[in-house]
Amino acid sequence: MRRRWALVMTVVTVAAGLSACGDSGSSDGKTIKVAYQKFGNFIGADELFKKIKPVFEQQNPGVKLKLIPIEADENSYYTKLGLMRRSKATAPDVAYEDTFFVNSDAQARFLMPLDDKLASWPDWNQFVSAAKAAGKAGDGHTYGVPMGTDTRGLWYNKKIFAKAGLPADWQPKSWNDLLTAARQIKAKVPGVIPLNVYAGKGVGEAASMQGFEMLLYGTGDKLYDDQTKKWVAPSRGMNDAMNFLKTVYSEKLGPTPQQALDPHWSDNVSGQELSQGKLAIDLDGSWLPQAWIPGGASAWPDWSKTLGTAPMPTQNGQAPGKVSLSGGWLLSVGANTKNPDAAWKLVQLAMNKENSLFFYIKGTQVSVRNDVTADPEYLKGNPTQKFWTSLVQYTQYRPAYSVYPQISNQLQAATEAVVTGQAAPEKAVADLAGQIKQLAGPDKVEGTS
Amino acid sequence: MVAVDLPESTRPAARRSPARGRRAAGRVLPLVPAFALIALFFLGPILWCVYASFTDVALTGATASTPHLVGLRNYRRMFSDPAFGQSLWLTVVFVLGSAVIGQNVGGMALALLMKSRHRIARAVVGAIVVGAWVMPELVAGFVWYAFLADDGTFNAILHAVGLHGKSWLYAMPLVSVIIANVWRGTAFSMLVYSAALSNVPEDLLEAAAVDGASSYRRLRHITLPLMRRAVMTNLMTITLQTLAVFTLIFVMTGGGPGTKTQTLPIYMYQSAFKFYQLGYGAALAIVLLAVGGVFSVVYLRMMREEV
């Protein structure tokens, strides 16, 4: 009796084990899988694909669209997407792809070149050239259609400016103008943080991109030289950018180091500091209203009356006078898709004029399509959208190489050392240059100072 | 898990007979699927991890689809990487502070104090301590974050009695995570030691008391020697558990500020899944396994020695 039981249990367990194994890998070309991020405030992509799913399935009889929303923050999204792509059975046919992963994902042969398909797509002429270039990898092929972008610049509180005796249409022309305004606010409006520039590892990429790189790219120096194909470190610009950070934090024009290093600081800036009138000037991005619009995480109906916008000036006002950096996302087709035509049709449908407009508004994106930019519907509801879109012609993209996340991490650590006073700016830059040499390889780095 | 043979293991020697052989087969057969599953989901990943640690496999970039064998490069890089040395040191401090000292001594103290107390006192204390232990690690992490954060409960209490608070997670991050882990894990040691204490013969202690031994001498010369195996088993278990603690630290500090609480599991996660260096992350995992192995061997040796 006991032995029979043992036998039965054995059979049951084996059967359960086998059936669990048999379920994977049902990719037959009849199902198009699209993977995208859905997290916190960001539900634009989810809404877009839910909207077009019935349309796509009607236009392509016999093909099903399977939505794979990945609920993860940005960094974990890249990780999960990368892990999905390690197996052909789980690799998505179409994916929401960060522009700065294009090079490394193309090298990994995760992506399909779209050059021929784009050449015969009439809509492609509507895309602005900076955005077209964002989907182009170092090998000259284009691997994705841009889904909009973001730009970076200054937000400022007009009510605090009035108290400090600063103009409501403030437009700084150099770093000095910026510091002068901050000092004036510190003197006349106590209890307010005059100027927020992100720094330190707590806020992650915000410290690299909204903080250090927005300064560096205004000095004339860059992080990566596209001509020589080398990283540039150390440089005079790096020293100047670090010295600017030191000035802001040591003169107490910025947040305290404890505030700045809190991992939740960037959420606090949009959710509390700006909306409660505790922060005067914020070097930040175009997407902030996403939190303030009705239904956002911290709705603030009066935001557009209280806040003004200004471009971030270059160091001494040198041409072109304005700095902006951009990120942005693409729709890419997987290299191993069984049905490339259907996948491409999905990309075309998702990024046509109507659906681009829908996504720009839902995702607080800056338009990269000329026909959408000209559409009155696009500017309705967000009065600053015109300003942020005007920065697209000045904007630059980050170096899109797989070592960038590690270099960015070192940038964050270096800014942290400077704002906490642990290292002098020149020492922090020298250490940073050493780290970049180690990460990228000594022959891939050139110093200019 | 490492099997520990208990003192009372006095199995009768197996007699060889065909009937016994068949019965043994009948007993082993139902285990086959379980072993197969362990091999598939436990041994398989470990072997892959060993293999990956000798390659440059990454999550993106050219080596994602065509990894190369790179020999010992990952290990050489590790030992020349100051971040690794720091992580190893932090891991050792974390394990010594929160497991070997905190949980172990705390658990022993609780067990001794509860031994001859009233039933209700034991039930109340036991419920509170075990309550911290049954709480999921993620929840415990949030609880401690909320307690120690700048505007958290602890600072609110300090302000209420007129003291100045501090940014605890910023000013003393390692101490914070060690205390949180002691709070969470002490229950396990307490349960093990309570069970072991009840096995110490009462008449032995009474005889010693009659001979005039102080309570400290009774603890030092009778109770502790008799509990030695339980102590070693407990130390090994909590050491291995604490070596692998990830969620608690990740939720409370994220390994920061800077790298001040970046223990090996956090560093491994960062290398493999934030910087996409799967090969390097795998090498770190192997080293973590080796550190756990060293601790286990030391404890097993200490257990084998006779009193």
Q: What is the pLDDT of residue A6?
A: 54
Q: Strands A279-285 and A152-157: what pairing?
A: antiparallel
User: Does residue A252 come out as left (phi exceeding 0), alpha (psi in the -120 to 50 range) or beta?
Assistant: left
B85 token code pair: 């040395």
ipTM, interface predicted TM-score of the complex: 0.75
Query: Looking at residue A20, what is its pLDDT?
Result: 47
CB A261 within 8 A of CB A201: yes
pLDDT at residue A23, rounded to an integer: 41
**C-alpha span between A209 and A365 (Å, rounded):** 17
Give the pLDDT score at A54: 96
The answer to whether the Cα torsion of A433, A439, A443, A445 is positive or negative is negative
pLDDT of residue B17: 66
Distance from C-alpha of B34 to C-alpha of B27, rounded to nearest angstrom: 13
Cβ contact, residue pair B276, A82, below 8 Å: yes
- Classify residue A155 by burial, with Cβ atoms within 10 Å: 0-12, 13-18, 19+: buried
**Which structure tokens are listed for B83?**
């971040």
H-type alpha helices, A207-352: 214-216, 236-250, 257-261, 265-268, 289-292, 303-306, 340-350
Run of H or E residues at B168: helix B168-171
Measured between beta carbons, the chain B residues lying within 8 angstroms of A7 are 29-30
Q: Which helix (H) or strand (E) holds A325?
A: strand A322-326
**Separation CA B62–CA B226 (nearest Å):** 59
Q: Which of A403, A372, A184, A202 is nearest to B63 (CA)?
A: A403
pTM of the model: 0.80
**Phi and psi at residue A155, to the nearest 5°:** -105, 140
Judged on CB neighbours under 10 Å (0-12, 13-18, 19+), A4 is exposed
d(CA B33, CA A9): 10
Q: Which residues pair with A443 in a beta bridge?
A: none
H, E, C per residue of A100-164:
HHHHHHHHCCCECCCHHHHHCCHHHHHECHHHHHHCECCCCCECCEEEEECCEEEEEEHHHHHHH
The residues, ordered by sequence, that sit 6+ positions from A126 with a Cβ below 8 Å of its Cβ are A353, A369, A370, A371, A372
Task: Report the sign of the C-alpha dihedral through residues A118, A123, A125, A129, in that order.
Answer: negative
> Nearest-CA residue of chain A relative to B37?
A17
Taken as a whole, chain A contains a residue count of: 449
Check CB contact under 8 Å for A17 and B36: yes
CB contact under 8 A, A406 and B58: no
Query: Minimal CA–CA distance to B201: which of B223, B174, B234, B179?
Result: B223
Residue B116: the pLDDT is 77
What local confidence, expressed as pLDDT, does residue B303 receive?
A: 79
* B55 min Cα distance to partner chain A (Å): 15
Q: Which of B27, B258, B275 lies nearest to residue A416, judging by beta carbons?
A: B258
Nearest residue of chain B to residue A9 (CA atoms):
B30
User: From the CA of A256, how many Å to the nearest CA of chain B?
Assistant: 12
Q: How far apart are the first and last CA of chain A?
A: 85
Amino acid identity of A258?
A: Q
Q: Which residues of B touch A201 (CB under 8 A)?
A: 256-258
Closest CA to B61 of A404, A7, A222: A404
Test mutation, A80, A262, A422, A438, chain B, max B CBs within 10 A: A262
pLDDT in tens, B92-118: 999 999 999 999 999 999 999 988 788
Q: Report the DSSP beta bridge partners of residue A69.
A: A36
Judging by beta carbons within 10 Å of its beta carbon (0-12, 13-18, 19+), is residue B69 exposed, middle or buried? exposed
Partner residue facing B273 (CB), from A3, A79, A402: A79
- B136 and chain A in contact, CB less than 8 A: no
Peptide bond preceding A190 in cis form (omega within 30 of 0): no
Cα separations in angstroms, B77 against A344, B53, B279:
43, 12, 11
* Token duo for residue A196: 């927020």
CB-nearest to B29 from A6, A75, A83 is A6
* Among the listed residues A142, A143, A213, A201, the one whose alpha carbon sits nearest the alpha carbon of residue A399: A213
Find the length of chain B: 307
- Confidence band for B170, pLDDT divided at 50, 70 and 90: confident
Q: Which residue in B128, B100, B133 sits closest to B114, CA to CA?
A: B128
Q: Which residues of B touch A3 (CB under 8 A)?
A: 26
Residue B10 pLDDT level (bands cut at 50, 70, 90): very low
pLDDT, position B66: 85
Taking each helix axis as running N to C, give the angle between helix A2-21 and helix B18-28, from 0 to 180 degrees, rounded to the nearest 10: 30
Per-residue model confidence (pLDDT) at position A26: 45
**Edge-to-edge strand ranges of the sheet holding A64-70:** A64-70, A31-37, A94-98, A328-333, A145-149
Cis peptide before A301 (omega within 30 of 0): no
State the 10-residue block means of pLDDT for chain A, 449 residues long: 55 52 54 91 88 95 94 86 91 92 90 95 92 87 93 96 95 96 96 96 90 96 91 95 97 92 85 93 93 82 94 94 92 94 95 94 90 90 90 87 85 92 93 91 86
Q: What is the mean pLDDT of residues B211-218?
A: 88
Average pLDDT, chain B: 87
